[in-house]
Structure 1
């Protein structure tokens, strides 16, 4: 997405005009907040943030499925020796997908 100059806001101005910026974001725009002339944060709608998290979760699931498929293909083709590396990677990624209570992170 292309940003215009009015979408880039210094932090001091964002502090002073937060209510107005929130209303603009709720209307569909995004704002880039700068500090000392460099971008440091973005102001986006909660709907866009939730969509981002859903897309990221879907991407992670596709990576996991691809690892599982690759491991199964190697297992079928070459036996357990070549598949062990893929299964280990899959187990590691699945472990990273678990929530703090040890249960799988599900939505």
Structure 2
């Protein structure tokens, strides 16, 4: 979504006109609130925020499925390793300082 200059609001103005801004956001616009001339927070419709969270969860699920697919390909190609051996290899590759923090 493209923003116009009318969608960028200083915090002082947002504070004074919050109800009006909320109505505009509910009607479909998004607002960027600035503080000291820098982006500070965004005002978006709650339903749109829920949608964004849903998209994020779906993306995570797709990444997990891709990892599983690659794992199955590795198994089919014989690229496997004993779990105990893999853990030992990973632990030996860690710096001594980080190993001592766990103990």
TM-score strictly above 0.5: yes
Counterpart of 1:70? 70
Instruction: Give the Cα separation in 2 of the matches to 1:51 and 1:79.
Output: 39
Instruction: Give the Cα separation in 2 of the matches to 1:27 and 1:79.
Output: 54
Q: Is residue 2:32 matched to residue 1:53?
A: no
Counterpart of 1:23? 23
Where does 1:59-98 land on structure 2 (aligned, <5 Å)? 59-81=59-81
Aligned-residue CA RMSD in angstroms? 1.7
Q: Deviations over 1:56-82 (max 9, x none)?
A: 00000000000011001101102422x
TM-score calculated relative to the size of structure 2: 0.77
Q: How many correspondences in the alignment?
A: 84
Q: Secondary structure at the match of 2:14?
A: helix
Counterpart of 1:14? 14
* Bigger-Rg structure (1/2): 2
Please list every run of at least 4 consecutive aligned residues from structure 1 whose deviation after the TM superposition is greater than 2 angstroms: none
TM-score calculated relative to the size of structure 1: 0.74
Shift of 1:2: 1.2
Which consecutive residues of structure 2, in runs of 5 or more, have no partner in the other structure?
88-103
Which consecutive residues of structure 1, in runs of 5 or more, have no partner in the other structure?
89-107
